[in-house]
Chain A
C-alpha cells in the first residue's frame, strides 16, 4: 500500500450517495429538442460550422474549437438545426448565451465513425488531435479542454498521471457507477493517455474508500497494467486537483502554478472513459453520466444523458414534484449553483442535478455576525485565513485580499459549511475575485486609453508645428518678394500726388507682358475703328435729314472716335518698338 498524505482542513458532510446507487445507469427516451451551448467548457466559445435548416447526423461536428482554450461541440443525435441563437444556459448568472438547437428526427443515425483501435501505433500528436476533435473537456466539473491539458508543450516531461475518481462531493455518484459498470473501458482510456504522454512512470487512480465496489472493479481490471489504485479516507474536498495530488504524492502545487509544472497530469475518470470512446470507438463527446438525486425526485439514479438534454426532460421522467423541491441545483450541494429555470440544457460539465426537498436542503438562514470562532480556518483545505479574507472582502481591500492569497481559494465551500453564523463566505470570495479581476481589466483598458490620448496629443502637436512652420515659410516668402521690388517700398510719400504716382507705378508693374499689351491694344484699335465707322454712317444720316444741333453732335462724336483711333495706333506703334 502506497503512503498517503493528509490534507489540511476539510469537512465531513453526510455523503448521501446510496440513494442514487440502487439502480444501474439508466437511459432516457430521446428528447424532442437538444440545446447545445457553444461554451460548455472553460475558455472561449466554439465557432459554429452549421447553418439553420441543415440536416445533421449523430456525432457530426456543429462547432469547432476556436483559437486558444476551446473545445468542439457535436450533435448528440440526428435531426435538423432549427435555431442558432441566445438561450438561457446552465450558469450561475441565469443569463443567456449562444446555443445551437437540434430538433431530433428520432432516427438517431450515426455519422461515419473513424476509430483507431490500434492507438499504440499512433503518434502523440495524432491522439491529441483525435481528442481535440472529439470535443472532450474535463467531465469532473471544471470543463478544461483535455487536449490542451495533455499538451505538455515545452514544460517538464510528465512522469505522473493521476486519475481522479475521488468524487468527494455529496450526492454525486456518476464516476462511482461508471467505474462499477465500465471499469475496463476506463482502464483502456487511461492506457491511451499514458501512451500519449510517453508512458509516465507512475499512474495512480485516487479514490475515496466509500466506494468499495468501484475499488474492487478497478483492482480487478488494473492487474498487471502497472496502474495503482489508491484509496484513502473520505473527506471533502479530497477531489480538488491540488488536494488529490497532495494526498497521493505529498507534493504541493505552488500558488499560481499548474500540476504540469511538477510533471503531473490529473484527469477525471469520466474523461478517461470519454477518451476511450473517442479514440477506440470514434465517438465524440455527446453523452455523459449525470446523477439525478434529491427527495423531490421519485427516482434517484444515474443516467447516461445526451448532452443538450433539457433538465426538464430529465425531471419529467423521474416523477419530479415541483411543490416539494426547495431549489434546483446543478452540481453538488457544496459547489453547485441554483438553476433559474429547468429549461436549461445539461452540458459536458453537468455532474449532477440535485432536486432537494425543503427539509433536505433548507433555505439559507440569515447570516449572523462573525464571532471569530476560527472554525473556517480549521476547515480550509488550502490553508488560507477565511475569516481575514471575509473582513477584507467586506472592506473591499483588494491589496490585502491578494496578499492573503484569495486566488488560491478553490471555492469548495467548506468554510461556509462550518460557519456557525451562516455567513456565505464563498460568495464574498467569489465576488471579490470578480471585483479584483474587473479592476485589473479596467486598469489595463485605462492604460490603453492613456496611451491613445497621449499619442493623439503628440500627433496634434506635430500637426500644429507643421502648420506653424508652413505659415512662417509663407511669411518669409512675402517679405522676400517685397524686398525684390524696392520701388514699392520707397513710395511711402504722404502727399496725394505721391500716392497716385505709387499707384500708377504699381499699375505699370502689374502690367502684362508686351505681347499681351499689344494684343489688347489691337483689340482696342479694332473697336475704335468700328465706332468711327458707325459714327460716320450716323453723320451721313443726320446730314441728310437731321437738325443742325444733331449734326454738330454727330460731328463731335466722329471727331472723338477718330482721336481714339489715332491715340491707339500711336500706343500700338510705341509698344511694337
Chain B
C-alpha cells in the first residue's frame, strides 16, 4: 500500500487532498449544526433597542417585525415613540449615521397612557382585541379598564372604540418619579467670533 503511494505521487496527493477535504468538510458541517444560531442576533439587538410600544406606526405589526426589516436594510427612522434617542442608539449599533425621524410615520410626542371613561364604556371588547400587549381588562357587556402599568400608549385602542370613551392622557409625574433636570448650557464664551456665534468658531 505504502509502496503504491510512494510510487504514484499524484495519487498520494489526490488522496491526501480528498481526505483533508472530507475531514474539514465534516468538521465544518458538525460545527454548523452544533453551534447553530437560532435567530439572527442583530434582529435581537435591534428589537431590544426599540421601545416595544407595538404601535405599528412604522408600518409593521409590532417592534420585532420592524427590527427584522431594519436588519434586512430598511430605514431606521420610522419609530416615532422611540424618537431620536432610539434612532441614535440603532445608528450606533449599526455603525451608520443617524438620520432624523421620518415625519411620515408620526412625530415624537410625550408618552401617554390610555384611560377608559368607564361610565361611557358599553363593553364591546373591541379595544381588548386591539391591544397588542393585553393591557385592557373586561368582558362582553361589562366595563373595561386599562392596566396603566402595562399600557404602552400605542393608541391602537382609541380608533376601534365605537363610543369614543378612550382618552390618551400624558403620564403625570409624581414626587417619586421626579428627577433633577440637567443644567442649561450657557453659551461657551471662549473663542467666539465677532458675531458671537460660537458654533462658527468651533
Contact = CB atoms under 8 A, between A and B. Distances in A.
30 contacts: A39-B175, A89-B175, A91-B178, A97-B175, A368-B189, A369-B190, A393-B182, A427-B182, A427-B183, A430-B180, A431-B180, A433-B179, A434-B179, A437-B179, A438-B179, A443-B48, A446-B48, A446-B50, A449-B52, A449-B53, A449-B150, A450-B47, A450-B63, A452-B150, A453-B54, A453-B62, A453-B63, A455-B134, A456-B132, A457-B62
A367 interface: yes
Max chain A CB contacts within 10 Å: which of B54, B180, B186, B189?
B180
Interface in A424-456: 424, 427-428, 430-435, 437-438, 442-443, 445-450, 452-456
Interface string B166-202: 0000000011001111110110111000000000000
B122 interface: no
Contacts of B134: 452, 455-456
A431 B182 CA distance: 5
Given A97-B174, A432-B182, A453-B54, 6 more contacts: A93-B178, A96-B175, A431-B181, A437-B179, A446-B52, A452-B150
A393 B180 CA distance: 13
A435 B182 CA distance: 9
B51 interface: yes
Contacts of B77: none
A493 interface: no
Max chain A CB contacts within 10 Å: which of B53, B62, B150, B175?
B175
Nearest to A435: B179
B152 interface: yes
B124 interface: no
A394 interface: yes
B175 A93 contact: yes
A212 interface: no
B54 A449 contact: yes
A431 B179 contact: yes
Nearest to B177: A438
B98 interface: no
B179 A95 contact: no
Interface in B57-98: 62-64
B182 A447 contact: no
Nearest to A459: B134
B140 to A, nearest CB: 16
A404 B162 CA distance: 54
Majority DSSP secondary structure for residues of B touching A? loop
Contacts of B152: 449
Majority DSSP secondary structure for residues of A touching B? helix
Given A95-B175, A455-B134, A434 B54 contact: no
A92 B180 contact: yes
Nearest to A95: B175
B180 to A, nearest CB: 4
Nearest to A44: B176
Contacts of A431: 179-183
Given A96-B175, A431-B180, A453-B133, A367 B150 contact: no
Contacts of A435: 179
A262 to B, nearest CB: 30
A153 interface: no
Given A455-B134, A456-B134, A369 B54 contact: no
B47 to A, nearest CB: 7
Interface in B121-168: 132-135, 149-150, 152
A432 B50 CA distance: 21
Interface of A: 39, 89, 91-93, 95-97, 366-369, 393-394, 424, 427-428, 430-435, 437-438, 442-443, 445-450, 452-457
Contacts of B186: 366-367
B52 to A, nearest CB: 4
Contacts of A96: 175
A367 B175 contact: no
A556 B190 CA distance: 125
A442 B48 CA distance: 11
Contacts of A437: 179
Contact of B180 (A97, A434, A453): A434
Contacts of A91: 175, 178
A431 B178 CA distance: 10
Contacts of B150: 448-449, 452
B133 A452 contact: yes
Contacts of A367: 183, 186
B174 A453 contact: no
B129 to A, nearest CB: 10
Contacts of B188: 369
Nearest to B191: A369
Contact of A453 (B48, B132, B178, B182): B132
A130 B78 CA distance: 58
A452 B185 contact: no
Contacts of B63: 450, 453
A95 B176 CA distance: 10
Contacts of A456: 132-134
A438 B175 CA distance: 14
Contacts of B62: 453, 457
Interface in B27-70: 47-48, 50-54, 62-64
B182 A369 contact: no
Contacts of A97: 174-175
Contacts of B185: 394
Contact of B133 (A369, A427, A449): A449
Contacts of A369: 188-190
Contacts of A430: 179-180
Contacts of A89: 175
A367 B149 CA distance: 40
A480 B62 CA distance: 42
A450 to B, nearest CB: 5
A433 B180 CA distance: 9
Contacts of A450: 47, 52, 63-64
Contacts of A448: 150
B155 to A, nearest CB: 14
